[in-house]
């Protein structure tokens, strides 16, 4: 498999974080990260257009091959979840129109678990592990971008693991069947 470029998206209708990693020889390498700040924009549809345009530009600039998004999680306020779903949808369409056919969603707890080993880790703990894993200096005010990098790394780990082929199953028999050379 050639170079992979994973674009991570932490969707939001006020702040959208993005993180980009390349994978060379099975190792993730930091490429870029950023935050789209659309808090001043009052029109919800203009926000979606800005999300679409920004994600399209990120995909085009870095030649993304895969996208990982934080999925909207259960919340007490259905309107917030709906707005996050719209932001996520705008990012998905942008990715697909730029030729990215591999799009995966990860719950916030799943990404935190993959990065820190603790599904309830704080944003600061996630940022610290990202800093150590990717060797990049992160600014505290860019935690939305850090979360996007965490989503991208979570996708890297999920798809690079020998268990990735049997991810949806906890069956050791399926793992052994899929990987007979790994069992002695």
d(CA 104, CA 151): 10
pTM for this structure?
0.84
Is 139 tagged catalytic?
no
Which pLDDT score is estimated for 170?
46
Residue 63 Cα to chain centre, angstroms: 16
- Is 70 annotated in the active site? yes
List the chain pLDDT tens, one digit each, 184 residues. Answer: 578 999 999 998 899 999 999 999 999 999 999 999 999 999 999 999 999 999 999 999 999 999 999 987 666 688 888 888 999 999 999 999 999 999 999 999 999 999 999 999 998 899 899 999 998 887 766 778 899 999 999 999 999 876 654 444 445 555 566 667 666 5
Question: 10, 32, 53, 110: which is the annotated catalytic residue?
Answer: 10
Instruction: Tell me the C-alpha distance between 133 and 29, whole Å.
Output: 9
Closest alpha carbon to 143 in 20, 15, 49, 14: 15
From the candidates 53, 144, 173, 181, give the one annotated as an active-site residue: 144
Please state, in angstroms and rounded to a whole number, the distance separating the CA atoms of residues 151 and 137.
Answer: 18
Query: What distance in Å separates the CA atoms of residue 5 and residue 64, rounded to the nearest whole number?
Result: 5
pLDDT digit string (tens) for 118-170? 999 998 899 899 999 998 887 766 778 899 999 999 999 999 876 654 444 44
- Whether 32 sits among the annotated catalytic residues: the reply is no
pLDDT at 168: 46
Active-site residue identified among 70, 110, 124, 173: 70
For position 163, what pLDDT does the model report?
62
């Amino acid at each position: 498999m050639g170079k992979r470029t994973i674009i991570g998206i932490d969707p939001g209708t006020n702040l959208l974080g993005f993180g980009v990693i390349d994978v060379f020889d099975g190792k993730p390498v930091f490429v870029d990260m950023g935050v789209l700040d659309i808090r001043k924009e009052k029109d919800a549809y203009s926000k979606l257009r800005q999300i679409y345009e920004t994600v399209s530009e990120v995909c085009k600039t870095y030649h993304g091959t895969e996208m990982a998004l934080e999925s909207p999680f259960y919340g007490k306020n259905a309107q917030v979840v709906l707005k996050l779903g719209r932001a996520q949808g705008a990012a998905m369409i942008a990715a697909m129109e730029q030729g990215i056919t591999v799009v995966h969603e990860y719950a916030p707890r799943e990404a935190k678990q993959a990065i820190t080993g603790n599904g309830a880790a704080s944003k600061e703990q996630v940022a610290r592990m990202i800093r150590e894993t990717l060797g990049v200096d992160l600014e505290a005010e860019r935690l939305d971008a850090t979360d996007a990098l965490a989503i991208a790394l979570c996708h890297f780990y999920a798809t690079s693991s020998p268990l990735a082929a049997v991810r949806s199953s906890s069956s050791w028999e399926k793992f052994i069947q899929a990987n007979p050379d790994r069992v002695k």
